[in-house]
Amino acid sequence: MRILIIENEVILNKMLAEGLQQYSYQCDVVDTLKDGMYYLSIRNYDLVLMDWILPDGDAIDTIADIKTNTPKTAVIVISSVEDTKSEVEALRTGADDYIRKPFDFDVLMARIEARLRLSKNTLEIDSLTINNEEEKVIYVEQEIDIKGKPFEVFAYLAFNRDQIITKEQLLDAIWEEPELVTPNVIEVAINQIRQRLDKPCGITTIETVRRRGYRFCFPKCSE
């Protein structure tokens, strides 16, 4: 899972990134809202961790933009502002959580994990179950051998099943350094999914949308 950190305190920035990476999260780090909005325009994030007040403004407009453009992206605000008014304002604007500085990193991790579990843990569609936490795909009570990057591609498409996802979006969301791999790795992952799940089970889970990308379509796919 990929997290964007928008925080201008250098030491805190480094601590957050290093701590999250130890838990296998992919992190991008910026120190201004302008840079944060740029990254949000080119990559897909499961969660944005952002300061309430930054050098080029406060977070309120950015939170509203995130929730409008990518409503499935969770937002957690971290803030040195102690007044209740700011917390209420952040939550009403669309923030999913608000944590005051200084904070215990273990508590922050628990809040992040809890927030991501709400939307990204287990998905059940008809006779198909996808468990992100345990990296399991089960179809009609039979576990299917899909692991690693093919599983991440499959799960990402499934959890965003109402959207057409481009190869570039998949690379940005799943690979730590997407600029160092070619889009062909997506085709390889999709082929493995079809060979290990679709073909032996006689179903279609992912359709190729010509010149646009891929869409999770189980149990109803285009003819």
What pTM does this model have?
0.60
Is residue 161 situated within a structural domain?
yes
Q: Which tens digit of pLDDT belongs to each residue from 186-213?
A: 999 999 999 999 999 999 999 999 989 9
Is residue 221 situated within a structural domain?
no
96 plus 141 within the same structural domain: no
Q: Which residues contact 6 (CB under 8 A, 6 or more apart)?
A: 30, 31, 32, 33, 35, 36, 48, 49, 50, 51, 54, 59, 62
Q: Which tens digit of pLDDT belongs to each residue from 71-84?
A: 778 999 999 887 88
Q: Catalogue the long-range contacts made by 206-210 (C-beta closer than 8 Å, 24 or more residues apart).
A: 206/154, 206/157, 209/164
pLDDT of residue 8: 92
Domain boundary (77, 99, 119) is at 119
14 plus 115 within the same structural domain: yes
Asked whether 86 and 52 are in contact (CB, 8 A), the reply is: yes
Domain boundary (119, 146, 162) is at 119
Q: Which tens digit of pLDDT belongs to each residue from 20-31?
A: 998 888 899 999
Give me the number of domains the chain comprises: 2
Residue 138 CA to residue 134 CA, distance in Å, equals: 11
146 plus 135 within the same structural domain: yes
Residue 223 CA to residue 205 CA, distance in Å, equals: 13
Instruction: Write out the residue range of the structural domain in which residue 168 sits.
Output: 121-216
105 plus 133 within the same structural domain: no
pLDDT of residue 61: 84
Within 13 Å of residue 78, how many CA atoms lie on the same side as its CB?
Answer: 24
Domain boundary (119, 152, 182) is at 119
151 plus 201 within the same structural domain: yes
